[in-house]
Structure 1
C-alpha cells in the first residue's frame, strides 16, 4: 500500500546491521491484519528478509521475522516459534507474540550473529526492555545488508479480505530515520510511494529529517476546528495573539482555529503560513510553516493524544491544564491531560 525506500552510501560488502524505529499512532483494531515491515536485501545474494510488527486476527499482536532461502534457526527468544515456509518463496519464519502499544516507539534491529546467522531484536524505548526474536541461519554467506524498504499493507486474504479498499482498517505509523553499523551510518536519502490495488487509500510523507509517515484510510483531517483539552475543557489558543500556545476559553477566533494539511501540519486557519511547532524544551509555538518533523502532528484515536513526529512526544499542558497554562510536548502518558478533541 505504502512504502519508503532508503538510499545508503555505496559499500561493496554491505552492512553488519540495520536498526530502525517505528511508532504506530493509529491501530487498525480488531482483526486489523496489518503488517508494518522493514525489508532488506543482501550485498551478494538476491534473496533477503524482513522483520516487523503485525496486528493479526482478533487482537493478536506479533513481531514477525523471515528470511528467504534460510536453512535453519537457533537462539530463539522466550515465546518465539520458528518454522520453514513454502509460500511466496521458501525460507524460515520466526514470530512471537509481542504486545506493542499505540504511541510507543520501538527500535527494531537485525544484525550479524556469528558467521552464518542474522539476529532480530526489538527494544521498547519507553521501558528500555529488549527482546530477542531468534537467529535465522543461512546456508552461505550473502555479504552484508545493502538495501532497506519499509512498508505497510493489509494482508487479509480469502473470506477475511475487505470487500473494498474503502473498508480496509485505518492504520498509521511513523518510521524514524534508520541507521547501520551500530548507528555510525545513516541513509543518504528517503523516497516514498504507494502501490497496489488500494494505493488510492494510502499515503506516504517523508520530512527532510527522513522521518516518514505511512497511512492507510486516514479519513478526514480537522478543518477550521478548535482543539479542546478533555481534562479542562479549555481550548488550544495562541495566547494574546502571540507565538506561545496555551489554554483559554473556547472561542471561534484566529487564535484557536486550526486546519491539518496533507503533510499533517496543524496550520493556523486565519493566519496563513503559520504552523504549530514543537520545541525540544520550552512551549509549543506558532512558527513559519516548513517541512520539518517538529510540525508534524498525528492524532492517536486510542489515547486521544497528539503525537509529534519530530520529538516523539505528545501535546501536553502545564499547570494541571489551568486557564492560561502553556503547552509543551512531553512523554506520552495516556492521561486525561493529554487528551484532545477537535470541535467546530
Structure 2
C-alpha cells in the first residue's frame, strides 16, 4: 500500500506528462489502467490531416450544472504550440474565493496584462512559464468563447467573450519562441482541485456538467472533430462524457448533488471550527463557507469536502471520517448506515438509514435525531441534484475586469456566437443532458482537512501501486523520445501557478 497523497501525486504526474492526454501522445499507458487523474473527464480532438500551424483557435465552454460556490473545478482547453511547448485557457471555481479565467503557457518569457483586473506573473514548478488571470463570476447557462491568437514576434493573446451577455475580457498576452498553434494534441478537460487532498473521494465531489464546443482554427476556416474521450477510473460509475453534434458534454459526480447549504429555516447545517473526527454538527448562519458546503451523495451520505460525513451517534449528530470504499470506480462509497440519510422532498425530512429517525434541530442550534413526526424542527432543504443555475452567492461581488461589448455587438445585445456551424437539420444549441441522480443503492486547499486531525490517512488500492510501477517504466521510455512533457505537480497543483 502507498500513501494516498503520494500515490495521487505520482498518478497525476504520469497522466499530465502526456502518457494520457498531453500534447499529442496517446492514452495507452498503465497510468490509465491504474485510474488516471482522479475526478476528471477528457475530450481529445483531431483536425483534418492537412491542417498546418494555426494563427488562432477558438473554443466554447457552456457550464450546464454549476457545482456550487464552495466547489473546486477547472474547465479548460489544452493545446500545443509549434515549438513543442503548450498551454491551456479555461475557467476555475476556487472553493469560495473569486472565480477566475486562466491563460497559461509553459516556457513563456514575457507577459502583458490585458483589461483592468487582469494580472500576469511567472510560475515555477517542475518547469517554468507564465500565466495571466482575471476574475470573472461565470454563470451556468452562459456560453464563453475563448480565443488564443498569435499576434507576432512570439506573442499570444487570450480573450474570453461571454456570448450570452455580449461582453469580452482581454486576459493578456504571453511571449514564447513559438509562432503558431499546433493542430495536434488538443483536448478539453474537467478537473477537481479537491483531489489534491488525500481525504477526497468520488462521493465528496459536487455534481457538475459542462458542454465543450468543437475547436475552430483560423477564424472558423478549419474545424476539429472529437477523436476520443476518457474518464477517471476512480469515479467511473459517477462520470460520463457524451459526444454531441456540437462537441461533448462532460458530467462529473453523477448522482451526487451540487455542493450547497442544508437549510433549516433561516439557519444552516454546519460543522464550524477546526475539523476533527467526531466533531459536533450544529445550526449556524447561512454564509456560503466550506464548513457549510454539503453534498448529498449517490450513496446517501451527507458530506462536507474531504471526507466528513454527517453521522448519527446515539441521539447525537457528529461529523466523522466517511471511511468509504477504496475500490476503483466506487472510490469512497460508504456502506455504514449510520452515515447515510434519505431525503423526502414532500415532508422535507432527513431520515437516518440505520435508525429510521429524523434529523431534528433544537432551539439552541444543537442537532439530535428523533422520531419522525413531520414537525418544523425536522424540515430541511438540501442542495439540488440538478444544479439550478449558479448559486445565489457568487464571486460577482468581487472586483471584476472592465467588460466591453463583444466584437460585432452593441451594448447588451450580442449576435450569437457559435462554436461551429449547426449540423444539417439540427440545432446549434449544445445538448443539455438531463441530470442523472439515480442513487447507486437502488487543488492545494485551505487547512481544513481531516487528514490533519489524527484520523487514518487515506490509502490507494494495491492494484494502483502496481500500475504506478508499470507507468514509471513507460515514463522513462517516453522521456527518451520527447520533451513535450507537462509537470505532474503543475497539473495537480494548478491553483498555485495558474
TM range (shorter): 0.5 to 0.7
Q: Answer yes or no: is 1:180 the counterpart of 2:225.
A: no
Q: Structure 2 matches for 1:253-264, cutoff 5 A?
A: none
Please give the root-mean-square deviation of Cα atoms over the aligned residues, in Å.
2.9
> Aligned pairs, how many?
232
Q: What residue is the counterpart of 1:301 in the other structure?
A: 388
Give distance in 2, aligned partners of 1:55 and 1:106: 15
Residue number among 138, 159, 168 corresponding to 1:100 in the alignment:
138
SS of match in other structure, 1:84:
strand
CA distance in 1, matches of 2:252, 2:193: 13
- Unaligned residue ranges in structure 1 (runs of 5+): 222-297, 316-344
Counterparts of 1:17-166 in structure 2, within 5 Å, are 17-42=56-81, 44-138=82-176, 140-147=177-184, 148-156=186-194, 163-166=200-203
Deviation string, structure 1 residues 116-136 (Cα, Å, up to 9, x no partner): 111111111122211110001
Higher strand share: 1
Task: Identify if the C-alpha distance between structure 1 residues 162 and 178 changes in structure 2 by more than 3 Å, giving closer, same or farther.
Answer: farther
The 1:303–1:95 alpha-carbon spacing in structure 2 relative to 1, beyond 3 Å, is closer
Answer yes or no: is the 8 Å Cα contact 1:189–1:210 preserved in 2: no
Query: Could you tell me how far apart the structure 2 residues matched to 1:12 and 1:133 are?
Result: 27
Cα deviations by residue, 1:84-108 (Å, 9 ceiling, x for unpaired): 1112531001111011111111111
Moved more, 63-72 or 161-170: 161-170
Give the C-alpha shift of residue 59 in structure 1. 4.8
* 3-state secondary structure, aligned to 2:203: helix
Structure 2, unaligned runs of 5 or more: 1-39, 258-384, 392-425, 433-498
- Structure with the higher fraction of residues in helix conformation: 2
Q: Structure 1, residues 48-93: CA drift from partner, whole Å, max 9, x if none? A: 0000010002052100110011101025221111111112531001
Partner of 1:215: 251
Could you tell me which residue of structure 1 aligns to residue 231 of structure 2?
A: 194
1-structure distance, mates of 2:224, 2:210: 19
Tell me how far 1:113 sits from its aligned partner.
1.8
* Cα separation, partners in 2 of 1:310 and 1:59, compared to 1, 3 Å: farther
Distance 1:157 1:34 in 2: 10
Work out the CA distance in 2 between the residues paired with 1:9 and 1:311.
22
Q: Secondary structure at the match of 1:61?
A: strand
Cα separation, partners in 2 of 1:93 and 1:79, compared to 1, 3 Å: same
Evaluate the alpha carbon distance shift between residue 11 and residue 49 of structure 1 in structure 2; reply closer, same or farther with a 3 A threshold.
farther
1:157 to partner: Cα distance = 5.5
